[in-house]
Amino acid sequence: SSELTQDPAVSVALGQTVRITCQGDSLRSYYASWYQQKPGQAPVLVIYGKNNRPSGIPDRFSGSSSGNTASLTITGAQAEDEADYYCNSRDSSGNHPVFGGGTKLTVL
């Protein structure tokens, strides 16, 4: 089982705001990063650090953290945002990367 826990599935109406969460003890010490993966494609980094977006990622994607929970928020979800989203941080020892189980986002 993963040391980072995500809800398996979340849905959002087109144009509305959705929050995808990731829980784990290591998140009290380390920031999470977030990845978007569409079917048949490699993961793409969307958020890293405190709340940083790589070049080319729309500003509707944002990240936040509180206690043992990291969140990815999509403000004004678009049809093209439908994908699997994974959080990533360190394991409890801090030595190894670990991924959450992933959240399948459906845009209605």
Partner 1 sequence: EVQLEESGGGLVKPGGSLRLSCAASGFTFRSYTMNWVRQAPGKGLEWVSSISSSGTYIYYADSVKGRFTISRDNAKNSLYLQMNSLRAEDTAVYYCARDLRGAVAGRGYWYFDLWGRGTLVTVSS
Interaction of residue 92 with partner 1, rule CB under 8 A: no
How far apart are the C-alpha atoms of 93 and 83, rounded to whole Å? Answer: 30
Q: Which residues pair with 71 in a beta bridge?
A: 21, 64
Residue nearer to partner 1 on the CB measure, 48 or 76? 48
Q: Which stretch binds partner 1 (CB under 8 A): 15-23, 72-80, 98-106?
A: 98-106
How far apart are the C-alpha atoms of 101 and 6, rounded to whole Å? Answer: 6
With contacts defined by CB under 8 A, how many residues of the chain interact with partner 1? Answer: 29
Pairing of strands 9-12, 103-107: parallel
**Binding to partner 1 in span 29-88, by CB under 8 A:** 29-33, 35, 37, 41-45, 48-50, 54, 86, 88
Closest contact distance (angstroms) between CB of 92 and partner 1 is 13
Judge whether 105 and 87 are in contact, CB under 8 Å: no
Among 20, 36, 61, 99, binds partner 1 (CB under 8 A): 99
Q: What is the DSSP string of 49-64?
A: TTTB--TT--TTEEEE
Task: Please give the residue ranges that form the binding site for partner 1 (CB under 8 A).
Answer: 2, 29-33, 35, 37, 41-45, 48-50, 54, 86, 88-90, 95-102
